[in-house]
Amino acid sequence: MENGEVESNIKMSLNSYIKLNNQFEKNENPNFVPNYVISKLKVIGEAKDDCCGIRFEFEIDVTSPKWISIPLLSSSVAILETKIENIQQNKIQNQNNSVSIGINSDWHCLLSPQPGLYLVNCVVESPYANDRHGSLVLSLPQCCYGELLFSVPKQQFSQQKCQIIANPSLSHELISDTSHTILKSIFSSTSKLTIQWTEISESSDDDEEKK
């Protein structure tokens, strides 16, 4: 300490620094524009006995030259595997690179120090929304375009027939093969995606035929 100056040595986590810096920019500029866009999100999932297995495929355009934290998935899901690829640099990110996945404010986030077009794949397990194992609620970041492909094994139902519904959904199609019922859906930008599936009984089929 010299000339009456007080030295300070403040330590904080990287996530805390990013959050503080982003908040400062928002306060300084009321017209603050996000430094990234999630242009596409593909969700591929399957109902299992105790949870849902899901693969998320993000396409993210990062324009900021500074460190930013990009929320991807709720911390309620368990990430089993991740793969990050920067298309503009044409290389896969690994532990030796600075781009990574971390947790910030109850979200699994992409921590990016530089611009790039990133493809981020995350394989996760997600708990069911209720004890009946027929409903799933996913917290998602805002994206420009979303695709859903969700399958339910026919062996889960005595009649081996089920109805799958996603909300929100701009379009949907049900496909049935020998072992699964599959929902293909396009969804709009949303913070929550709800998927529900129920068994179709033989009596329901008879009623539909009578109509």
Convert the pLDDT of each residue in 56-87 to its tens digit: 999 999 988 888 999 999 999 999 999 999 88
Average pLDDT of the segment spanning 37-46: 96
Average pLDDT of the segment spanning 107-131: 92
Query: Cα–Cα distances in Å, from 5 out to 8, 9, 10, 11?
Result: 10, 13, 16, 19
Edge-to-edge order in the sheet of strand 192-199: 135-139, 192-199, 162-167
Q: How far is the C-alpha of 201 from the C-alpha of 203, rounded, in Å?
A: 5
208 pLDDT exceeds 90? Answer: no
Q: How far is the C-alpha of 136 from the C-alpha of 103, rounded, in Å?
A: 22
Confidence (pTM): 0.77
